[in-house]
A and B are shown apart, each in its own frame.
Chain A
Amino acid sequence: MALVEEAERKRRRLGRLLAGVFILALVMGPGPGIYLVNPSPDAAAPWTVWGIPVLYVWAVSWFFVMAATVVLAYRKVWLAGDSD
């Protein structure tokens, strides 16, 4: 019984952590976090990373963070939470 409760507590803690990471990805990816990398419209040369425009790299990076969060949630939180 205690082991089950402990597992449930861990699952909930992981669920909250993943929710936090996902919200962070939403704020950073398409949200105000962009201003950390947003090129100035007056810049002489565009910002690129390995020759790729920085906003594209930014979008793909945060997509991978979100995707990893969903995969972890599916395997560790959702599967354990639903019994059907």
Chain B
Amino acid sequence: MMMTLAAIDLGYTPHVVLALYLVVLVGIGFWGYLRGRQTEEDYYLAGRGQGVLVTVLTIMATMFSSAAMLGIPGMVYKDGAAFLLFALNLPLAGMAVYLLGSRISRMGRNRGYVTPADMVADYYDGSHAVRLLAALTGFLYVIPYIVMQIKAGGYLAQGLFPTAAPVSILGVEMDMFSLGVNALSLITMIYVLVGGMRSVAWSDVLQGVLLLGGMILAGIATVAAMGGVSGYFKAVSTLPPEAQSLPGASGSWPAWKLMTVCIFGAVGSMVQPAQWMRYYSARSSATLRRCALIFALVLPACFLFGVMIVALGGRVLYPPTLVDGQVIPHEMIGSKPSEVDQVVITMIQEQIPLLLGTGLGVIVVSILLVAIMAASMSTADSNLHALSAVLTRDVYDRYVRPAASERERTWVGRGVIVVATILALWLVHASERSTGDFNPLSLIAEMMLLAIAYACQLLPATLDMLFFRRGTRAGVIAGMLSGLLVVTCFTPLPALFLGGGSGIEGAAKNVKSLLDIGCCGFLVNVTVFALVSRWTRPVDPEAKARFAKDLNSN
């Protein structure tokens, strides 16, 4: 007999747990401010002295977004066991932390880089165009990522306070979704503004621990609630065949697409600006080597034995229906296709009190829901902080006011954080108000893949600098422009400007059904990069030799 939400009174426990969590976060923000020095480098890289524990947890927490706790389980709920295999991207991401991260870290220490564009532009003859393109790539990654984290805050507020009436703040009436969205944005903005990288990294430690524990705890609770290991798998075995095979219930996951999403999802996530800055802020390459090992072993285990188990169990307990080719969630989970993202929230709220009772159960539910909020906040804070670095260091410092003092630059960086938060908030509210078919922000997992596809366009230049050193400045510019353009063809923009049913839209839809969009952009990027590099002026050989020497020295 399934207990409904209305039957479970969470009381004031979620308020207390949430309040404690938020107070600690703001406290960490002020602690970071007191420990820090008022320099740009300290604000963005915390003095380049972070050890293994902080570095690994901040890398994990930055990668662990609302997609990890909501979007990816939502895809497992929607498509079944096929999407479980996505967890295999994580060992590759761990490898990337070592192969790319330790080298980037070494170059950052040797040459004082702060942003990805610092390094890429420096290698390609100090090119302004390369710097701006690298900054643009970072911007295109960061904005969708912040938007989806903030949106998740709304879902969580609905989950934590399901029966709460709308509240009026400063004369504006807000439902729980709006309140969650606004509160998550405000708190995250405050502690990033105040303490910079030191606060972001230490809050990531708290959030990372909450997340890892939360994922495993949710998995154990789901298995226990469904009758133990044998009961759980017996129930899962009754899923319809399309939910136990490729290409999944919605037919979206043929093997080549799944593999390319795993590869480019992993590597793209590891060259995004926020991760790149974590490599710079690590104490040494050895720190990142240890982080790579821990990451590759711990994170996939948390997915495969934790949150994926929850999502698959959710598919058994709350089976979705297929209507006109769209997967519609069970009424307990939501009413719109995009609400498949809420499967973990529903599972936690419904199953844990049944298992643990309404005393301990409510406390565990509150902690787990706060853990999901931690997933969103830890990624939002890292991306806000990285965006601030990218726009301040790569644009303001270079082209707006090169003579600005360190103090002024830091304050401009803080201004960027405020503006980016307001922009992301506006996008979330506009998306929620949208009633038509055009709603590009509907599914968290799809936004994640688009953002990563943009980040992947920095990959050819990164690989060339670190390993091959055969590309040219013109090559990298042409390659990145082509890659970014190709990825943009997969967004709703062509339909918006060229009208629905255009050739580009149709071709993009066909290619997207076979391969990851980051992979498509990457392949075009590499091809153009290689061809243009073949016939254009190479990078200054002496500068190249100095770069290689610094790359190999500790």
Query: Does B bind A?
Result: yes
**Residues of A participating in the B interface, judged by any CB pair closer than 8 Å:** 22, 25-27, 29-35, 38-43, 46-48, 51-56, 58-60, 62-63, 66-67, 69-71, 73-74, 78-79, 82-84
Task: Check: B489 CB closer than 8 A to any chain A CB.
Answer: no
Task: Check: B174 CB closer than 8 A to any chain A CB.
Answer: no
Given A26-B262, A29-B88, A71-B297, 12 additional A-B pairs, CB 8 A: A30-B85, A46-B238, A46-B241, A48-B233, A56-B312, A60-B304, A66-B300, A69-B91, A70-B293, A78-B289, A82-B102, A82-B285
Among B67-107, those with CB < 8 Å from A are 81-82, 84-89, 91-92, 94-95, 98, 102, 106
Among B226-271, those with CB < 8 Å from A are 230, 233-234, 236-239, 241-242, 244-246, 255-256, 258-259, 262-263
Q: Is the CB of A82 within 8 A of B239?
A: no
Q: Is the CB of A34 within 8 A of B246?
A: yes
Task: Check: B286 CB closer than 8 A to any chain A CB.
Answer: yes
Q: Is the CB of B293 within 8 A of A63?
A: no
Task: Check: B307 CB closer than 8 A to any chain A CB.
Answer: no
> What's the Cα separation between A82 and B236 when bound, in Å?
46
Q: Is the CB of A51 within 8 A of B230?
A: yes
Q: Is the CB of B95 within 8 A of A70?
A: yes
Chain A residues with CB under 8 Å of B233's CB are 48, 51-53
Chain A residues with CB under 8 Å of B301's CB are 63
Q: How far is the CB of B253 from chain A (nearest CB, A)?
A: 9
Q: How far is the CB of B251 from chain A (nearest CB, A)?
A: 10
> What's the Cα separation between A29 and B216 when bound, in Å?
22
Q: Is the CB of A34 within 8 A of B241?
A: no
> What's the Cα separation between A7 and B241 when bound, in Å?
51
Given A31-B256, A34-B85, A60-B304: A83 touches B554 (CB 8 Å cut-off): yes
Instruction: Tell me the nearest residue of chain B to A60, going by C-beta.
Output: B304
Q: Is the CB of A70 within 8 A of B244?
A: no
Q: Is the CB of B554 within 8 A of A40?
A: no
Given A39-B245, A46-B239, A53-B244: A67 touches B255 (CB 8 Å cut-off): no
> What's the Cα separation between A38 and B245 when bound, in Å?
6
Given A31-B256, A84-B284: A38 touches B230 (CB 8 Å cut-off): no
> What's the Cα separation between A31 and B270 when bound, in Å?
21
> What's the Cα separation between A39 and B255 when bound, in Å?
13
Q: Is the CB of B237 within 8 A of A70?
A: no
**Residues of B participating in the A interface, judged by any CB pair closer than 8 Å:** 81-82, 84-89, 91-92, 94-95, 98, 102, 106, 230, 233-234, 236-239, 241-242, 244-246, 255-256, 258-259, 262-263, 284-286, 289, 292-293, 296-297, 300-301, 304, 312, 554
Q: How far is the CB of B341 from chain A (nearest CB, A)?
A: 21
Q: Is the CB of A41 within 8 A of B256?
A: no
> What's the Cα separation between A66 and B206 when bound, in Å?
28
Q: Is the CB of A35 within 8 A of B88?
A: no
Q: How far is the CB of B507 from chain A (nearest CB, A)?
A: 23
> What's the Cα separation between A44 and B267 when bound, in Å?
39
Chain A residues with CB under 8 Å of B289's CB are 74, 78-79, 82
Chain A residues with CB under 8 Å of B285's CB are 82, 84
The one of B241, B259, B284, B304 that contacts A30, using a Cβ cutoff of 8 Å: B259
Q: Is the CB of B293 within 8 A of A55?
A: no
> What's the Cα separation between A73 and B308 when bound, in Å?
27
Per CB-CB distance, the 9 closest pairs between chain A and chain B, nearest first, are A31-B259, A66-B91, A84-B554, A55-B81, A30-B85, A70-B296, A39-B245, A30-B262, A32-B255
Instruction: Enumerate 14 A-B pairs (CB-CB under 8 Å) in ascending A order.
Output: A30-B88, A30-B255, A32-B259, A34-B85, A34-B246, A52-B237, A59-B304, A63-B300, A67-B297, A67-B300, A70-B91, A71-B297, A78-B292, A82-B102
Q: Is the CB of B293 within 8 A of A74?
A: yes
Instruction: Tell me the nearest residue of chain B to A33, going by C-beta.
Output: B255
Q: How far is the CB of B240 from chain A (nearest CB, A)?
A: 9
Q: Is the CB of A63 within 8 A of B91?
A: yes
Q: Is the CB of A58 within 8 A of B85?
A: yes
Chain A residues with CB under 8 Å of B245's CB are 38-41, 55
Q: Is the CB of A46 within 8 A of B244?
A: yes
The one of A48, A53, A70, A78 that contacts B297, using a Cβ cutoff of 8 Å: A70
Chain A residues with CB under 8 Å of B86's CB are 30
Chain B residues with CB under 8 Å of A63's CB are 87-88, 91, 300-301, 304
> What's the Cα separation between A79 and B290 when bound, in Å?
10
Q: Is the CB of A34 within 8 A of B237?
A: no
> What's the Cα separation between A65 and B86 when bound, in Å?
15
> What's the Cα separation between A61 and B257 when bound, in Å?
21
Q: How far is the CB of A9 from chain B (nearest CB, A)?
A: 19
Q: Is the CB of B81 within 8 A of A35?
A: no
Q: Is the CB of B244 within 8 A of A74?
A: no
Q: How far is the CB of A84 from chain B (nearest CB, A)?
A: 4
The one of A31, A51, A84 that contacts B237, using a Cβ cutoff of 8 Å: A51
